Amino acid sequence: MKLYQGHKSRLSKNMLDLIKSMFEDAPVYVCILEGPEHRLQYANKIFRQLYGGRIFPAGTRAQEVLRLFRGSEKEVRDRTAVLDKVYNTGEAFIGNEFKTSFTSEVKNDSGEAYFNLICQPLETTSGEVYGLFITGYEVTEHLKARQEKAYSKKRLTIALEGADVGFWELNLKENSLDYTTKQCKAHFGFSPDEEFSLKDFYMAIHPEDRGYIKKNIRNSIIGSGEYKVEYRVLRSRTSVHWIMSRGQCLYDENDRPYRLIGITMDITKSKEAEKKLEKAVKIRDDFLAIASHELQTPIAGIRAHAELLQWQLEETDNEGYMEQIAKINKGISQLSELTRNLLDFSRIKEGEVQLQKDEFLLGQLINEKVETLDSVSQHELQVEGEKNVKVFADKIRIGQVLTNLIDNAIKYSPAAGKIIVRYTRTKDRTVISIIDFGIGVHAKEREKIFERFYKGGGRLKDTYPGFGIGLYTSLQIVKQHDGDLWVEDNSGEGSVFSFSLPNK
Ligand code: ADP
């Protein structure tokens, strides 16, 4: 190694060679400075790389090196001051995560790096300081990773607190609750400073739900690892809260479960709303069932008497009365259809239809329904399809669907002359279409008309009697058969309602 001019190193050549052989390829930075101006005597490879791989002649002043590569003059001053202090006091300087700036020539990302370093004085045997020995290593990545972890934790805490979500960790090896946030404690009626153990957790759960929770924890550990429960918590004798908890089991490298971690949320309000809604729906359904059932008896009575009257009047051939009685009969038919619709609807709740499936001739059922409706309709009802097509389905329910769709076709095509009922069987399904030449369904309403209580037709809505439940009921029945129900445009001349039934 060349020495700087005019200054002979206080270290012998042998000593310098020894240092060089020891530290040249070391994974830590090593640098030796000498004299009060801190002239560079030696810098190992990794140190030189820090300075863009440049080789400075021995004897270059530290300040010159610093000036070339540090961000600012202040940084140069501060760093030189540190060197001066060690040199003058003989006391080592230890820098932990010591922040250092670099120009972009050296570090082109943020320009900041962090080091753990030590700067020690080199002394003669008589104790006189003649140089500095600096060694260190970079900890930037390590520090950033730690900061990122802390940020992530902070972000998570803010998110959890903001959403009033509690967090807990169950240690499965010790069978103890290791960690619970204040929200989690609050969900069980505990204050933030109170101890909250696994025993407290179980005691807070409603006695009727404890077994269910234990079973679920066990199942999640031995099963998929997923934990998903809803249970009641007794914060006091009178106050019951509903808690929803989700979690995940963690397994070690030997697949042994060691932790179950999760969140808690208070869902009391939505549970109460759900219950109120369930109750309201039940009251409505019960009422509908009773009302529609009760209405059917007097309607049947009126119908029988009206028919009798019509028959008697036909004998007397009284035109005026005949017209009146025909109107009464039409009204009765409408009333009867409405109550039948109501009754069907009240019996059919989503997914609760009990099907009695059997094989039957489709054409026969269609003809039966068409004949009944033919007598009350002005329309010509045409049936098209192969006579021997059989389906495997609930005949009564499919009959309801057919009646609903044909009824609608009649109702929504007052000015048309005919309605076609067409059925075709393909490889895997049978499709039944009811084709009318009436008012049609607006493209915007094609999805909505299948919702319950939806009546379409815009301004014309009140022109046609109905509760908006026929298509909904029909769709439920068809879905229960794993089929489909849909509507299409009949080339701008009305609509085509079709439903499919899978072949057996
Ligand atoms: P409702 O006929 O009692 O109103 P539905 O559930 O049977 O109830 O039908 C819902 C809506 O779908 C009707 O209000 C009507 O707007 C529309 N609709 C049903 N069938 C037809 C049809 N064949 N032609 C035109 N519109 C129809």
State how far the Cα of 213 lies from the Cα of 201, in Å rounded to an integer: 11
Kindly state the average pLDDT of the residues 49-74.
Answer: 82
Q: pLDDT band at 331, cuts 50/70/90?
A: confident
Upper half-sphere CA count for residue 283 (Cβ side, 13 Å): 6
Give the residue whose CA is nearest to atom 17 of ligand 1: 456
Q: What separation in Å is there between the alpha carbon of 408 and the centre of ligand 1?
A: 6
409 CA distance to ligand 1 centroid (A)? 8
Q: Which of ligand 1's atoms lies nearest the C-alpha of 341?
A: 3
345 lines ligand 1 (CB under 6 A): no
Give the pLDDT confidence score for residue 40 in this predicted structure.
92
Ligand 1 centroid, distance to 197 Cα (angstroms)? 60
The confidence score (pLDDT) of residue 350 equals 56
The pairing of strands 29-34 and 226-234 is: unpaired
CB 423 within 8 A of CB 432: yes
pLDDT over 90 (residue 300): no
CB of 438 closer than 6 A to ligand 1? Answer: yes
CB of 475 sitting under 6 A from ligand 1: no
Rank 129-133, 345-349, 369-373, 458-462 by mean pLDDT and report only the highest.
Answer: 129-133
**pLDDT tens, position by position, 235-291:** 876 789 999 999 999 999 998 999 999 999 999 999 999 999 998 888 888 787 777
Mutate to test the pocket of ligand 1, among 345, 381, 401, 412 (most ligand atoms within 8 A of CB): 412
Q: 168 versus 306: which is more confidently predicted? A: 168
| Whole-number pLDDT of residue 343 | 80
Residue 394's pLDDT band (cuts 50, 70, 90): very high
Name the residue with the closest Cα to ligand 1, atom 25: 440
3-class secondary-structure state, position 173: coil
In sequence order, what E strands does 24-110 have? Answer: 29-34, 39-43, 93-101
Q: Whose CA is nearest to atom 26 of ligand 1?
A: 441
Please work out whether the CB of residue 457 comes within 6 Å of at least one atom of ligand 1.
yes
* Model pLDDT, residue 486: 97
Locate all alpha helices (DSSP H) within 362-427, ordered by sequence.
362-374, 395-411
What pLDDT is recorded for position 4?
Answer: 40
Average pLDDT over residues 422-444: 95
Tell me the average pLDDT across 3-17: 66
Q: Is 252 left (phi over 0), alpha (psi -120 to 50) or beta?
A: beta
Tokens describing residue 244: 């929803």
pLDDT at 458: 67
- pLDDT surpassing 50 at residue 159: yes
What integer is the mean pLDDT of 301-323? Answer: 80
- b (16+ CB within 10 A) / e for 73-112: eebbeebbeebeebbeeeeebebeebebbbeeebbeeeee
pLDDT tens for 450-475 read 998 888 876 666 678 888 889 999 99
Looking at ligand 1, which atom is closest to the CA of residue 438? Answer: 24
How far is it, in rounded angstroms, from Cα 377 to Cα 346? 26
- Does the beta carbon of 472 lie inside 6 Å of ligand 1? yes
Contacts of 300 (CB under 8 A, 6+ apart): 336
Average pLDDT over the chain reads 88
Query: Over the stretch 185-238, which tens digit does the pLDDT of each residue have?
Result: 999 999 999 999 999 999 999 999 999 999 999 999 998 899 999 999 998 767
Task: Please tell me the least confidently modeled range out of 118-122, 245-249, 325-329.
Answer: 325-329
The response to whether residue 360 sits with its C-beta less than 6 Å from ligand 1 reads: no
Q: 474 CB under 6 A from ligand 1?
A: no
Q: Which amino acid is at 183?
A: Q
| pLDDT at position 289 | 78
Is pLDDT above 70 for 342? yes
416 lines ligand 1 (CB under 6 A): no
What is the spatial distance between Cα 258 and Cα 249, in angstroms, rounded to a whole number? 8
Whose CA is closest to atom 8 on ligand 1? 468
* Greatest alpha-carbon span in the chain: 147
Does ligand 1 have an atom closer than 6 angstroms to the CB of 131?
no
- Ligand 1 atom at minimum distance from 473 CA: 6
Task: Report the nearest-CA residue for atom 14 of ligand 1.
Answer: 455
Q: Please state at what angle helix 319-347 crosses helix 395-411, rounded to 10 degrees.
A: 130
Closest of 276, 266, 277 to residue 243, by C-alpha: 266
pLDDT of residue 287: 81
Model confidence at 374, pLDDT cuts 50, 70, 90, reads confident
The end-to-end CA distance of the chain, in Å, is: 94
Mutation pick for ligand 1 pocket among 400, 471, 473, 498 (CB with most ligand atoms within 8 Å): 471
* 405 ligand 1 Cβ < 6 A: no
Q: Separation of 275 CA from ligand 1 center, angstroms?
A: 32
Return the structure tokens found at 230: 């809803």
* pLDDT above 90 as % of the chain: 58
Contact assessment for residue 345 and residue 404, using Cβ atoms and an 8 Å cutoff? no
Mean of pLDDT values over 394-411: 94
Contact residues for 91 (Cβ-Cβ < 8 A; gap 6+): 85, 121
Among 4-13, 429-438, 492-501, the minimum mean pLDDT is found in 4-13
pTM score, whole prediction: 0.52
Helix or strand run (H / E) with residue 114: strand 112-123
User: Is 69's C-beta closer than 6 angstroms to any atom of ligand 1?
Assistant: no
Residue bearing the CA closest to ligand 1, atom 19: 408
356, with CB counted inside 10 A (0-12, 13-18, 19+), is: exposed
* pLDDT above 60 (res 375): yes
Strand runs (DSSP E) across 252-366, as ranges? 257-266, 357-361
Q: Is the CB of 409 under 6 A from ligand 1?
A: yes
pLDDT over threshold 70, residue 349 = no
